[in-house]
Amino acid sequence: MIRNSVDRALRDRAEAVIPNGMYGHQAVGLLPDDYPQFFSRAEGARLWDADGNELIDFMCAYGPNLFGYGNPQINAAFVRQMEEGDTLTGPTARIVEMAEAMVAMVSHADWAIFCKNGTDATAMAAVVARAHTRRKTIVRAKGAYHGWAPLFTSRRAGITPEDQAHQIICDYNDVASLEAAVAQAGEDLAGVFAAPVKHDAFIDQAPPDPAYANRARALCDEAGALLVVDDVRAGLRIARDCSWSTVGVEPDLSTWGKCIANGHPISALLGSNKARTAAGKIFATGSYWFQSAPLAAGVATMQLVRDTDYLERIETLGQRLRDGLAERASAAGFGLRQTGPVTMPLFLFEDDPDLRKGFCWSSAMLERGVYVHPWHNMFLCAAMTEADIDQTLDAAEGSFKALKAAQPLAPVEKMAFLTA
Ligand code: PMP
């Protein structure tokens, strides 16, 4: 067990003043019991929990950390802009510079609207698609996360059937199911939403089938509907462009967030000229949407995206991790499925329906100073080095041994819903 007395004390205090002690994707309720809830600082690829345990962080804040926590170049731009002015009566030149940088980088994009969170961008994309077509129906894939908005969330509490009306759910990468959904929408199709890769939690990840992506494009064109790629999570870890550029398909709208300012709060809706008029008609705004300091951080991030080999480096590191893990897992006699892009891996053990092996192994990794996630895709960042990967592989070797020694494993009660 890692040191955790500070974490436990904070959890007790949080329990009193925050529902369930924590909420949303950063609540650790569905992680192994020894995972820390609270952290104190971070630098580069490393994270220190509230008790001071140092961890190589393969979650990267669930995506936002792309160039290293506290990247000096990005933070300098942020601090400079904070000193000049951040939330003002109107925007500064930074919003134009960031729009120019993203439009220049993303081939389908002719314009940008900035907002705060991924959910702002995905909710806005649905409104733009409906404004453009003056129709209602959205087609999207089962299990794909597009944010917490009532339109999209999979939790039922507080959500009315009307909130989620006018949507048809299909299966990702299944052309026949997509065609059936679009046929069912008939004259009312406003848009098709797509994740850039299948990056759903708890299951193997999958790349986009080019046939599915191309069919989605063709069906939208036939119907005059808009195709939306939700690049909030995968953006910039697959391409320096919209992620579906890798399969040669350009959407009409794409949504971005998380890493576009390396953790500073901005997200974006990008669109092509086809959708410009509709984007100009809708009303969407927020008190902090025009913040100049995060936009300055975004401009600095885009410079690094353009001018460095960060993507090739994280791909090389990701491959080194994947190969090394495969070797060590098989040497230890475990079947480990590694799926997703190498820059956004997910690890699942064979014959592990309630994740008892995954939990045990992940806890052993944590004890050895590496933060991995047992059921959500992870993220690599450009501050990682070969030495970090090799340290991770050493930890993995030790953790496979620990897993072997811990057999037979008790069921993980809190994951029983996976097998129910
Ligand atoms: N879309 C995708 C694909 C995401 O992964 C997320 C966040 N995990 C969102 C939308 C929502 O982004 P946010 O949490 O910033 O609102």
For residues 388 and 250, state if they share a domain: no
Of ligand 1's atoms, which has the minimum distance to the CA of residue 25? Answer: 8
pLDDT band at 27 (very low <50, low <70, confident <90, very high): very high
For residues 269 and 189, state if they share a domain: yes
For residues 276 and 384, state if they share a domain: no
Of 356, 333, 412, 383, give the one whose Cα is nearest residue 46: 383
Model confidence pLDDT, tens digit, residues 285-299 = 999 999 999 999 999
Of ligand 1's atoms, which has the minimum distance to the CA of residue 231? Answer: 3
Contact 130, 124 (CB under 8 A): no
Token duo for residue 342: 């190498």
Q: Which helix (H) or strand (E) holds 138?
A: strand 137-141
296, part of any domain: yes
The pLDDT assigned to 168 comes to 98
CA distance 35 to 366: 8
CA distance 69 to 159: 36
Of ligand 1's atoms, which has the minimum distance to the CA of residue 257? Answer: 15
67, part of any domain: no
Has residue 1 got a pLDDT over 90?
Answer: no
For residues 103 and 78, state if they share a domain: yes
For residues 166 and 269, state if they share a domain: yes
For residues 165 and 227, state if they share a domain: yes
Domain boundary among 307, 325, 340: 307
Model confidence pLDDT, tens digit, residues 346-377 = 999 999 999 999 999 999 999 999 999 999 99
Model confidence pLDDT, tens digit, residues 107-122 = 999 999 999 999 999 9
Nearest CA residue ID for atom 13, ligand 1: 118
State the residue range of the domain holding 157.
72-307
Of ligand 1's atoms, which has the minimum distance to the CA of residue 116? Answer: 15
Has residue 53 got a pLDDT over 80?
Answer: yes
Model confidence pLDDT, tens digit, residues 120-137 = 999 999 999 999 999 999
CA distance 45 to 61: 11
Domain boundary among 279, 307, 335: 307
What phi and psi, each to the nearest 5 degrees, are found at residue 67?
-110, 15
Would you say the CB of residue 254 lies under 6 angstroms from ligand 1?
Answer: no
For residues 222 and 345, state if they share a domain: no
> In total, how many domains does the chain have?
2
Mean pLDDT, range 10-34, rounded to an integer: 98
Would you say the CB of residue 263 lies under 6 angstroms from ligand 1?
Answer: no
pTM value? 0.98
Model confidence pLDDT, tens digit, residues 315-350 = 999 999 999 999 999 999 999 999 999 999 999 999
Domain boundary among 307, 328, 360: 307
Give the CA radius of gyration of the chain: 22
| DSSP helix/strand/coil, 198 | strand
The pLDDT assigned to 118 comes to 98
For residues 113 and 239, state if they share a domain: yes
**CATH classification at residue 148:** 3.40.640.10
CA distance 402 to 234: 32
Nearest CA residue ID for atom 14, ligand 1: 118
State the DSSP code for 247.
G
Would you say the CB of residue 271 lies under 6 angstroms from ligand 1?
Answer: no
